Chain A
Protein backbone atom coordinates (compact mmCIF):
# COMPACT_ATOMS: atom_id res chain seq x y z
CA UNK A 1 0.00 0.00 0.00
CA UNK A 2 2.78 2.34 0.98
CA UNK A 3 4.56 1.43 -2.24
CA UNK A 4 1.47 2.22 -4.29
CA UNK A 5 1.10 5.57 -2.59
CA UNK A 6 4.76 6.31 -3.28
CA UNK A 7 4.40 5.45 -6.94
CA UNK A 8 1.17 7.40 -7.15
CA UNK A 9 2.56 10.62 -5.67
CA UNK A 10 5.86 10.26 -7.51
CA UNK A 11 3.93 9.71 -10.72
CA UNK A 12 1.81 12.79 -10.16
CA UNK A 13 4.92 14.91 -9.57
CA UNK A 14 6.64 13.85 -12.81
CA UNK A 15 3.24 13.78 -14.51
CA UNK A 16 2.94 17.54 -14.19
CA UNK A 17 5.99 17.96 -16.38
CA UNK A 18 4.78 15.32 -18.83
CA UNK A 19 1.48 17.19 -19.07
CA UNK A 20 3.22 20.40 -19.97
CA UNK A 21 5.39 18.78 -22.65
CA UNK A 22 2.40 16.95 -24.06
CA UNK A 23 0.16 20.00 -24.17
CA UNK A 24 2.87 21.64 -26.24
CA UNK A 25 3.02 18.75 -28.68
CA UNK A 26 -0.75 18.58 -28.74
CA UNK A 27 -0.85 22.20 -29.91
CA UNK A 28 1.79 21.55 -32.52
CA UNK A 29 0.37 18.32 -33.85
CA UNK A 30 -3.29 18.49 -32.87
CA UNK A 31 -3.80 22.03 -34.11
CA UNK A 32 -0.88 23.06 -36.33
CA UNK A 33 -0.67 19.52 -37.83
CA UNK A 34 3.11 19.34 -37.54
CA UNK A 35 4.21 16.17 -35.83
CA UNK A 36 7.18 17.89 -34.32
CA UNK A 37 9.88 15.33 -33.56
CA UNK A 38 12.08 18.27 -32.57
CA UNK A 39 9.69 19.10 -29.71
CA UNK A 40 11.99 17.56 -27.14
CA UNK A 41 14.87 19.64 -28.50
CA UNK A 42 13.09 22.86 -27.54
CA UNK A 43 12.77 21.30 -24.10
CA UNK A 44 16.48 20.54 -24.05
CA UNK A 45 17.32 24.10 -25.08
CA UNK A 46 15.11 25.42 -22.31
CA UNK A 47 16.87 23.18 -19.82
CA UNK A 48 20.35 24.24 -20.94
CA UNK A 49 19.58 27.95 -21.04
CA UNK A 50 18.27 27.60 -17.50
CA UNK A 51 21.39 25.72 -16.49
CA UNK A 52 23.57 28.41 -18.01
CA UNK A 53 21.66 31.29 -16.36
CA UNK A 54 21.63 29.66 -12.93
CA UNK A 55 25.39 29.14 -13.18
CA UNK A 56 25.58 32.95 -13.34
CA UNK A 57 23.90 33.00 -9.92
CA UNK A 58 20.28 33.54 -10.92
CA UNK A 59 17.46 31.70 -9.15
CA UNK A 60 16.58 28.83 -11.53
CA UNK A 61 12.88 29.66 -11.53
CA UNK A 62 13.47 33.09 -13.07
CA UNK A 63 14.87 31.83 -16.43
CA UNK A 64 11.36 30.51 -17.20
CA UNK A 65 10.46 34.12 -17.90
CA UNK A 66 13.32 34.26 -20.42
CA UNK A 67 13.19 30.88 -22.15
CA UNK A 68 9.44 30.88 -22.73
CA UNK A 69 9.37 34.07 -24.85
CA UNK A 70 12.59 33.14 -26.68
CA UNK A 71 11.31 29.72 -27.66
CA UNK A 72 7.90 31.15 -28.50
CA UNK A 73 9.52 33.50 -31.00
CA UNK A 74 11.74 30.74 -32.38
CA UNK A 75 8.73 28.45 -32.83
CA UNK A 76 6.63 31.20 -34.38
CA UNK A 77 9.32 32.12 -36.89
CA UNK A 78 10.00 28.46 -37.69
CA UNK A 79 6.38 27.86 -38.50
CA UNK A 80 6.09 31.00 -40.58
CA UNK A 81 9.22 30.24 -42.58
CA UNK A 82 9.53 26.46 -42.85
CA UNK A 83 6.16 24.87 -42.21
CA UNK A 84 3.90 27.45 -43.85
CA UNK A 85 5.99 27.07 -47.00
CA UNK A 86 5.56 23.31 -46.94
CA UNK A 87 1.85 23.65 -46.18
CA UNK A 88 1.24 25.96 -49.11
CA UNK A 89 3.10 23.65 -51.50
CA UNK A 90 1.50 20.39 -50.34
CA UNK A 91 -1.36 19.14 -52.52
CA UNK A 92 -3.33 17.73 -49.58
CA UNK A 93 -3.20 17.66 -45.77
CA UNK A 94 -1.84 14.11 -45.72
CA UNK A 95 1.21 15.13 -47.75
CA UNK A 96 1.71 18.12 -45.46
CA UNK A 97 1.66 15.88 -42.40
CA UNK A 98 4.32 13.52 -43.72
CA UNK A 99 6.52 16.26 -45.21
CA UNK A 100 6.12 18.37 -42.09
CA UNK A 101 7.19 15.42 -39.96
CA UNK A 102 10.27 14.83 -42.09
CA UNK A 103 11.18 18.50 -41.94
CA UNK A 104 10.79 18.27 -38.17
CA UNK A 105 13.24 15.38 -38.22
CA UNK A 106 15.64 17.66 -40.05
CA UNK A 107 15.15 20.31 -37.34
CA UNK A 108 15.76 17.64 -34.73
CA UNK A 109 19.19 16.88 -36.17
CA UNK A 110 20.05 20.55 -36.61
CA UNK A 111 19.03 21.66 -33.11
CA UNK A 112 20.46 18.67 -31.30
CA UNK A 113 23.84 18.89 -32.97
CA UNK A 114 24.08 22.63 -32.42
CA UNK A 115 23.50 21.89 -28.74
CA UNK A 116 26.13 19.15 -28.73
CA UNK A 117 28.61 21.54 -30.35
CA UNK A 118 27.90 24.20 -27.72
CA UNK A 119 27.48 22.14 -24.55
CA UNK A 120 29.08 18.78 -25.32
CA UNK A 121 27.39 15.54 -24.42
CA UNK A 122 28.18 15.11 -20.73
CA UNK A 123 25.26 15.26 -18.27
CA UNK A 124 24.98 18.48 -16.23
CA UNK A 125 23.17 19.12 -13.02
CA UNK A 126 22.91 21.69 -10.24
CA UNK A 127 21.35 21.72 -6.83
CA UNK A 128 18.29 23.82 -5.98
CA UNK A 129 15.91 23.27 -3.06
CA UNK A 130 17.46 19.87 -2.68
CA UNK A 131 15.76 19.04 0.61
CA UNK A 132 12.99 16.59 1.31
CA UNK A 133 9.66 16.87 3.06
CA UNK A 134 7.36 14.07 4.17
CA UNK A 135 4.06 13.46 2.48
CA UNK A 136 2.25 10.62 4.19
CA UNK A 137 4.65 7.76 4.82
CA UNK A 138 7.58 8.84 2.65
CA UNK A 139 9.81 11.73 1.65
CA UNK A 140 9.75 13.76 -1.55
CA UNK A 141 12.16 16.34 -2.91
CA UNK A 142 10.94 19.90 -2.58
CA UNK A 143 12.29 20.83 -6.01
CA UNK A 144 10.07 18.21 -7.66
CA UNK A 145 7.03 19.50 -5.86
CA UNK A 146 7.85 23.06 -6.92
CA UNK A 147 8.33 21.93 -10.53
CA UNK A 148 5.07 20.00 -10.57
CA UNK A 149 3.22 22.95 -9.04
CA UNK A 150 4.61 25.32 -11.67
CA UNK A 151 3.69 22.88 -14.44
CA UNK A 152 0.14 22.54 -13.17
CA UNK A 153 -0.33 26.28 -12.75
CA UNK A 154 0.92 26.96 -16.28
CA UNK A 155 -1.25 24.18 -17.68
CA UNK A 156 -4.36 25.54 -15.98
CA UNK A 157 -3.57 29.11 -17.03
CA UNK A 158 -3.23 27.99 -20.63
CA UNK A 159 -6.50 26.11 -20.45
CA UNK A 160 -8.23 29.24 -19.15
CA UNK A 161 -6.65 31.19 -22.01
CA UNK A 162 -8.07 28.68 -24.50
CA UNK A 163 -11.49 28.63 -22.90
CA UNK A 164 -12.01 32.32 -22.31
CA UNK A 165 -10.24 34.46 -24.89
CA UNK A 166 -10.95 35.23 -28.51
CA UNK A 167 -7.58 33.84 -29.64
CA UNK A 168 -8.27 30.70 -27.62
CA UNK A 169 -11.58 30.27 -29.37
CA UNK A 170 -9.85 30.66 -32.74
CA UNK A 171 -7.31 27.99 -31.77
CA UNK A 172 -10.07 25.62 -30.72
CA UNK A 173 -11.88 26.25 -33.99
CA UNK A 174 -8.70 25.59 -35.97
CA UNK A 175 -8.18 22.35 -34.03
CA UNK A 176 -11.60 21.12 -35.13
CA UNK A 177 -11.51 22.13 -38.76
CA UNK A 178 -8.79 24.30 -40.23
CA UNK A 179 -10.49 25.04 -43.52
CA UNK A 180 -13.81 26.04 -41.99
CA UNK A 181 -12.11 28.10 -39.29
CA UNK A 182 -10.31 29.93 -42.09
CA UNK A 183 -13.61 30.59 -43.85
CA UNK A 184 -15.08 31.98 -40.61
CA UNK A 185 -12.48 34.71 -40.62
CA UNK A 186 -9.73 33.18 -38.50
CA UNK A 187 -6.31 34.23 -39.79
CA UNK A 188 -5.31 30.61 -40.02
CA UNK A 189 -1.62 31.00 -40.89
CA UNK A 190 -1.14 33.35 -37.95
CA UNK A 191 -3.09 31.13 -35.55
CA UNK A 192 -1.21 27.97 -36.48
CA UNK A 193 2.11 29.75 -36.08
CA UNK A 194 0.88 31.00 -32.71
CA UNK A 195 0.07 27.40 -31.69
CA UNK A 196 3.46 26.19 -32.80
CA UNK A 197 5.11 28.98 -30.83
CA UNK A 198 3.06 28.20 -27.72
CA UNK A 199 4.01 24.56 -28.08
CA UNK A 200 7.71 25.40 -28.24
CA UNK A 201 7.38 27.75 -25.25
CA UNK A 202 5.70 25.03 -23.18
CA UNK A 203 8.44 22.57 -24.04
CA UNK A 204 11.03 25.14 -22.99
CA UNK A 205 9.26 25.79 -19.67
CA UNK A 206 9.09 22.06 -19.06
CA UNK A 207 12.81 21.88 -19.82
CA UNK A 208 13.49 24.62 -17.27
CA UNK A 209 11.52 22.71 -14.64
CA UNK A 210 13.23 19.42 -15.49
CA UNK A 211 16.66 21.02 -15.05
CA UNK A 212 15.68 21.89 -11.48
CA UNK A 213 15.02 18.26 -10.56
CA UNK A 214 17.03 15.99 -12.82
CA UNK A 215 20.42 15.86 -14.56
CA UNK A 216 20.21 17.22 -18.10
CA UNK A 217 22.07 16.21 -21.24
CA UNK A 218 21.94 17.28 -24.85
CA UNK A 219 20.36 14.04 -26.12
CA UNK A 220 17.53 14.07 -23.58
CA UNK A 221 14.94 15.51 -25.97
CA UNK A 222 13.82 12.48 -27.92
CA UNK A 223 12.76 10.56 -24.82
CA UNK A 224 10.35 13.35 -23.89
CA UNK A 225 9.06 13.54 -27.46
CA UNK A 226 8.24 9.83 -27.28
CA UNK A 227 6.43 10.31 -23.96
CA UNK A 228 4.51 13.28 -25.33
CA UNK A 229 3.51 11.27 -28.40
CA UNK A 230 2.04 8.53 -26.26
CA UNK A 231 0.30 11.10 -24.07
CA UNK A 232 -1.35 12.96 -26.93
CA UNK A 233 -2.53 9.66 -28.39
CA UNK A 234 -3.83 8.72 -24.95
CA UNK A 235 -5.54 12.05 -24.41
CA UNK A 236 -6.89 12.45 -27.91
CA UNK A 237 -5.25 14.50 -30.66
CA UNK A 238 -5.85 18.19 -30.30
CA UNK A 239 -7.50 17.85 -26.91
CA UNK A 240 -5.66 20.04 -24.40
CA UNK A 241 -7.47 18.71 -21.30
CA UNK A 242 -6.87 15.20 -22.62
CA UNK A 243 -3.13 15.82 -22.81
CA UNK A 244 -3.17 17.37 -19.33
CA UNK A 245 -4.84 14.33 -17.77
CA UNK A 246 -2.92 11.88 -19.96
CA UNK A 247 0.36 13.31 -18.69
CA UNK A 248 -0.49 12.35 -15.13
CA UNK A 249 -1.69 8.88 -16.14
CA UNK A 250 1.53 8.22 -18.01
CA UNK A 251 3.56 9.68 -15.15
CA UNK A 252 2.05 7.16 -12.75
CA UNK A 253 2.49 4.23 -15.15
CA UNK A 254 6.04 5.29 -15.99
CA UNK A 255 7.00 5.61 -12.31
CA UNK A 256 5.53 2.18 -11.62
CA UNK A 257 7.43 0.54 -14.45
CA UNK A 258 10.63 2.36 -13.54
CA UNK A 259 10.30 1.09 -9.98
CA UNK A 260 9.87 -2.48 -11.18
CA UNK A 261 12.30 -2.54 -14.12
CA UNK A 262 13.97 0.76 -15.16
CA UNK A 263 15.36 -0.68 -18.41
CA UNK A 264 11.94 -1.27 -19.88
CA UNK A 265 10.17 2.10 -19.61
CA UNK A 266 10.09 2.76 -23.38
CA UNK A 267 8.78 -0.77 -23.91
CA UNK A 268 5.93 -0.04 -21.46
CA UNK A 269 5.06 3.21 -23.25
CA UNK A 270 5.10 1.41 -26.56
CA UNK A 271 2.77 -1.32 -25.33
CA UNK A 272 0.36 1.35 -24.07
CA UNK A 273 0.61 2.99 -27.48
CA UNK A 274 -0.18 -0.28 -29.31
CA UNK A 275 -3.13 -1.06 -27.06
CA UNK A 276 -4.48 2.47 -27.54
CA UNK A 277 -4.17 2.32 -31.32
CA UNK A 278 -5.94 -1.01 -31.39
CA UNK A 279 -8.68 -0.29 -28.86
CA UNK A 280 -9.32 3.43 -28.94
CA UNK A 281 -7.23 5.35 -31.49
CA UNK A 282 -9.04 8.61 -30.77
CA UNK A 283 -7.91 8.65 -27.13
CA UNK A 284 -9.79 9.13 -23.86
CA UNK A 285 -10.97 12.68 -24.57
CA UNK A 286 -11.11 12.48 -28.35
CA UNK A 287 -14.27 12.93 -30.31
Chain B
Protein backbone atom coordinates (compact mmCIF):
# COMPACT_ATOMS: atom_id res chain seq x y z
CA UNK B 1 0.00 0.00 0.00
CA UNK B 2 1.37 3.42 -0.94
CA UNK B 3 1.89 5.86 1.89
CA UNK B 4 -0.72 8.26 0.51
CA UNK B 5 -3.37 5.50 0.54
CA UNK B 6 -2.35 4.44 4.02
CA UNK B 7 -2.67 8.01 5.30
CA UNK B 8 -6.16 8.37 3.80
CA UNK B 9 -7.28 5.04 5.30
CA UNK B 10 -5.91 5.97 8.73
CA UNK B 11 -7.54 9.40 8.63
CA UNK B 12 -10.86 7.78 7.74
CA UNK B 13 -10.34 5.32 10.58
CA UNK B 14 -9.86 8.25 12.96
CA UNK B 15 -13.26 9.79 12.09
CA UNK B 16 -15.22 7.83 14.77
CA UNK B 17 -12.73 8.87 17.45
CA UNK B 18 -12.93 12.52 16.40
CA UNK B 19 -16.70 12.70 15.79
CA UNK B 20 -18.00 10.16 18.26
CA UNK B 21 -20.19 8.62 15.57
CA UNK B 22 -21.10 5.70 15.54
CA UNK B 23 -19.42 4.94 18.86
CA UNK B 24 -22.13 6.68 20.85
CA UNK B 25 -24.81 4.72 19.04
CA UNK B 26 -23.63 1.44 20.54
CA UNK B 27 -23.68 2.53 24.17
CA UNK B 28 -24.42 -0.85 25.68
CA UNK B 29 -21.74 -1.93 28.13
CA UNK B 30 -19.62 -5.06 27.96
CA UNK B 31 -18.13 -4.08 31.31
CA UNK B 32 -18.79 -0.91 33.35
CA UNK B 33 -16.88 1.75 31.37
CA UNK B 34 -16.35 -0.34 28.22
CA UNK B 35 -19.10 0.06 25.65
CA UNK B 36 -19.75 -2.18 22.68
CA UNK B 37 -18.95 0.77 20.41
CA UNK B 38 -15.48 1.38 21.85
CA UNK B 39 -14.78 -2.33 22.15
CA UNK B 40 -15.55 -2.90 18.48
CA UNK B 41 -13.66 0.24 17.47
CA UNK B 42 -10.60 -0.91 19.45
CA UNK B 43 -10.61 -4.29 17.69
CA UNK B 44 -11.21 -2.73 14.27
CA UNK B 45 -8.40 -0.18 14.63
CA UNK B 46 -5.86 -2.79 15.68
CA UNK B 47 -6.97 -5.12 12.89
CA UNK B 48 -6.50 -2.26 10.44
CA UNK B 49 -3.08 -1.37 11.82
CA UNK B 50 -1.95 -4.99 11.73
CA UNK B 51 -2.99 -5.19 8.08
CA UNK B 52 -1.67 -1.83 6.86
CA UNK B 53 1.58 -1.34 8.74
CA UNK B 54 4.74 -3.44 8.70
CA UNK B 55 4.90 -5.87 11.60
CA UNK B 56 8.01 -4.22 13.10
CA UNK B 57 6.34 -0.84 13.01
CA UNK B 58 3.12 -2.22 14.52
CA UNK B 59 5.11 -3.82 17.34
CA UNK B 60 6.92 -0.56 18.07
CA UNK B 61 3.66 1.36 17.99
CA UNK B 62 2.08 -1.06 20.47
CA UNK B 63 5.08 -0.78 22.78
CA UNK B 64 5.09 3.02 22.64
CA UNK B 65 1.33 3.18 23.21
CA UNK B 66 1.56 0.89 26.22
CA UNK B 67 4.40 2.98 27.65
CA UNK B 68 2.33 6.13 27.35
CA UNK B 69 -0.98 4.66 28.47
CA UNK B 70 -0.18 2.40 31.39
CA UNK B 71 1.44 4.98 33.70
CA UNK B 72 -1.43 7.40 33.08
CA UNK B 73 -4.21 4.89 33.67
CA UNK B 74 -2.73 2.85 36.49
CA UNK B 75 -1.11 5.90 38.11
CA UNK B 76 -4.45 7.71 38.02
CA UNK B 77 -6.33 4.73 39.36
CA UNK B 78 -3.79 4.21 42.13
CA UNK B 79 -4.03 7.87 43.09
CA UNK B 80 -7.83 7.66 43.17
CA UNK B 81 -7.59 4.54 45.34
CA UNK B 82 -5.20 6.30 47.71
CA UNK B 83 -7.51 9.30 47.95
CA UNK B 84 -10.45 6.99 48.66
CA UNK B 85 -8.52 5.26 51.45
CA UNK B 86 -7.60 8.60 53.01
CA UNK B 87 -11.19 9.75 52.77
CA UNK B 88 -10.72 12.64 50.33
CA UNK B 89 -11.71 10.80 47.14
CA UNK B 90 -15.02 10.39 45.39
CA UNK B 91 -17.77 9.25 47.69
CA UNK B 92 -18.67 6.21 45.58
CA UNK B 93 -15.28 4.54 45.97
CA UNK B 94 -13.82 2.19 43.35
CA UNK B 95 -17.26 1.61 41.82
CA UNK B 96 -17.37 5.30 40.94
CA UNK B 97 -13.95 5.74 39.34
CA UNK B 98 -13.15 2.29 37.91
CA UNK B 99 -15.42 2.69 34.82
CA UNK B 100 -13.71 6.00 34.07
CA UNK B 101 -10.25 4.42 34.03
CA UNK B 102 -11.39 1.43 31.99
CA UNK B 103 -12.87 3.81 29.39
CA UNK B 104 -9.64 5.83 29.46
CA UNK B 105 -7.56 2.68 28.96
CA UNK B 106 -9.65 1.61 25.97
CA UNK B 107 -9.67 4.98 24.29
CA UNK B 108 -5.94 5.61 24.83
CA UNK B 109 -4.99 2.16 23.53
CA UNK B 110 -7.11 2.88 20.45
CA UNK B 111 -6.34 6.49 19.66
CA UNK B 112 -2.59 6.59 20.45
CA UNK B 113 -1.65 3.69 18.14
CA UNK B 114 -3.78 5.24 15.41
CA UNK B 115 -2.11 8.64 15.82
CA UNK B 116 1.39 7.14 15.96
CA UNK B 117 0.73 5.06 12.84
CA UNK B 118 -0.55 8.13 11.04
CA UNK B 119 2.53 10.20 11.94
CA UNK B 120 4.88 7.33 11.14
CA UNK B 121 3.21 6.83 7.75
CA UNK B 122 4.08 10.27 6.46
CA UNK B 123 7.57 10.43 4.92
CA UNK B 124 8.28 14.03 5.88
CA UNK B 125 11.70 14.29 4.24
CA UNK B 126 10.43 12.85 0.94
CA UNK B 127 7.59 15.38 1.00
CA UNK B 128 10.07 18.20 1.55
CA UNK B 129 12.25 16.96 -1.29
CA UNK B 130 9.27 16.60 -3.64
CA UNK B 131 8.13 20.17 -3.00
CA UNK B 132 11.61 21.48 -3.77
CA UNK B 133 11.81 19.69 -7.11
CA UNK B 134 8.95 21.70 -8.65
CA UNK B 135 10.08 23.07 -12.02
CA UNK B 136 7.70 26.04 -12.05
CA UNK B 137 8.43 27.48 -8.63
CA UNK B 138 6.82 26.93 -5.26
CA UNK B 139 3.20 27.78 -4.59
CA UNK B 140 2.09 29.56 -1.43
CA UNK B 141 0.47 26.38 -0.11
CA UNK B 142 3.72 24.50 -0.69
CA UNK B 143 5.64 27.18 1.19
CA UNK B 144 3.28 26.83 4.11
CA UNK B 145 3.73 23.06 3.92
CA UNK B 146 7.51 23.51 3.92
CA UNK B 147 7.28 25.64 7.04
CA UNK B 148 5.06 23.11 8.81
CA UNK B 149 7.44 20.31 7.87
CA UNK B 150 10.46 22.31 9.02
CA UNK B 151 8.96 23.01 12.43
CA UNK B 152 7.84 19.39 12.84
CA UNK B 153 11.21 17.97 11.75
CA UNK B 154 13.07 20.44 13.92
CA UNK B 155 11.09 19.46 16.99
CA UNK B 156 11.25 15.72 16.38
CA UNK B 157 14.79 15.43 15.05
CA UNK B 158 16.59 18.30 16.78
CA UNK B 159 14.89 19.74 19.82
CA UNK B 160 13.69 16.57 21.52
CA UNK B 161 16.88 14.51 20.98
CA UNK B 162 19.11 17.42 22.04
CA UNK B 163 17.00 18.02 25.14
CA UNK B 164 17.04 14.31 25.98
CA UNK B 165 20.82 14.33 25.75
CA UNK B 166 20.99 17.28 28.13
CA UNK B 167 18.57 15.55 30.52
CA UNK B 168 20.52 12.28 30.44
CA UNK B 169 23.72 14.17 31.15
CA UNK B 170 22.18 16.39 33.83
CA UNK B 171 20.59 13.50 35.73
CA UNK B 172 22.91 10.54 35.17
CA UNK B 173 21.36 7.30 36.35
CA UNK B 174 24.50 5.22 36.09
CA UNK B 175 26.65 4.67 39.18
CA UNK B 176 29.93 6.52 39.16
CA UNK B 177 28.68 9.57 37.31
CA UNK B 178 28.78 11.42 40.57
CA UNK B 179 29.11 10.20 44.12
CA UNK B 180 26.76 12.65 45.70
CA UNK B 181 23.65 11.97 43.65
CA UNK B 182 20.44 12.51 45.52
CA UNK B 183 16.83 12.03 44.54
CA UNK B 184 15.19 15.23 43.36
CA UNK B 185 12.52 16.61 45.65
CA UNK B 186 8.97 16.90 44.24
CA UNK B 187 9.38 20.69 44.14
CA UNK B 188 12.71 20.34 42.34
CA UNK B 189 11.16 17.91 39.89
CA UNK B 190 8.30 20.29 39.11
CA UNK B 191 10.75 23.16 38.72
CA UNK B 192 12.90 21.15 36.36
CA UNK B 193 9.89 20.01 34.30
CA UNK B 194 8.92 23.67 33.99
CA UNK B 195 12.40 24.63 32.74
CA UNK B 196 12.38 21.70 30.34
CA UNK B 197 9.02 22.78 28.96
CA UNK B 198 10.18 26.37 28.50
CA UNK B 199 13.43 25.25 26.87
CA UNK B 200 11.67 22.91 24.44
CA UNK B 201 9.10 25.54 23.43
CA UNK B 202 11.72 28.27 22.98
CA UNK B 203 14.06 25.98 21.03
CA UNK B 204 11.15 24.84 18.86
CA UNK B 205 10.11 28.33 17.79
CA UNK B 206 13.20 30.52 18.04
CA UNK B 207 14.39 30.06 14.45
CA UNK B 208 10.98 30.29 12.77
CA UNK B 209 11.52 33.88 11.57
CA UNK B 210 14.83 32.89 9.98
CA UNK B 211 13.25 29.91 8.25
CA UNK B 212 10.39 32.12 7.10
CA UNK B 213 12.91 34.34 5.33
CA UNK B 214 14.66 31.34 3.79
CA UNK B 215 11.40 29.87 2.54
CA UNK B 216 10.14 33.25 1.34
CA UNK B 217 13.21 33.45 -0.92
CA UNK B 218 12.03 30.46 -2.94
CA UNK B 219 10.59 31.57 -6.30
CA UNK B 220 6.83 31.94 -6.56
CA UNK B 221 5.01 29.47 -8.78
CA UNK B 222 4.28 31.11 -12.13
CA UNK B 223 0.66 31.32 -13.25
CA UNK B 224 -0.44 28.27 -15.25
CA UNK B 225 -1.12 30.33 -18.40
CA UNK B 226 2.56 31.46 -18.45
CA UNK B 227 4.08 28.09 -17.79
CA UNK B 228 3.99 26.89 -21.40
CA UNK B 229 5.29 30.13 -22.93
CA UNK B 230 8.54 30.38 -21.10
CA UNK B 231 11.50 28.11 -20.88
CA UNK B 232 11.15 25.77 -17.94
CA UNK B 233 13.75 26.25 -15.26
CA UNK B 234 15.93 23.46 -16.53
CA UNK B 235 18.82 24.47 -14.33
CA UNK B 236 16.62 24.06 -11.30
CA UNK B 237 15.68 20.53 -12.21
CA UNK B 238 17.51 18.11 -9.95
CA UNK B 239 19.85 15.64 -11.63
CA UNK B 240 18.46 12.23 -12.37
CA UNK B 241 18.80 9.61 -9.73
CA UNK B 242 22.05 7.77 -9.92
CA UNK B 243 22.09 4.29 -8.42
CA UNK B 244 25.44 4.80 -6.74
CA UNK B 245 24.98 8.37 -5.64
CA UNK B 246 26.46 9.19 -2.29
CA UNK B 247 28.58 6.11 -1.97
CA UNK B 248 32.31 6.27 -1.60
CA UNK B 249 32.79 4.15 -4.75
CA UNK B 250 30.65 6.52 -6.78
CA UNK B 251 32.57 9.48 -5.41
CA UNK B 252 35.85 7.97 -6.52
CA UNK B 253 34.45 7.10 -9.96
CA UNK B 254 33.22 10.63 -10.52
CA UNK B 255 36.55 12.11 -9.50
Physical interaction between A and B:
no
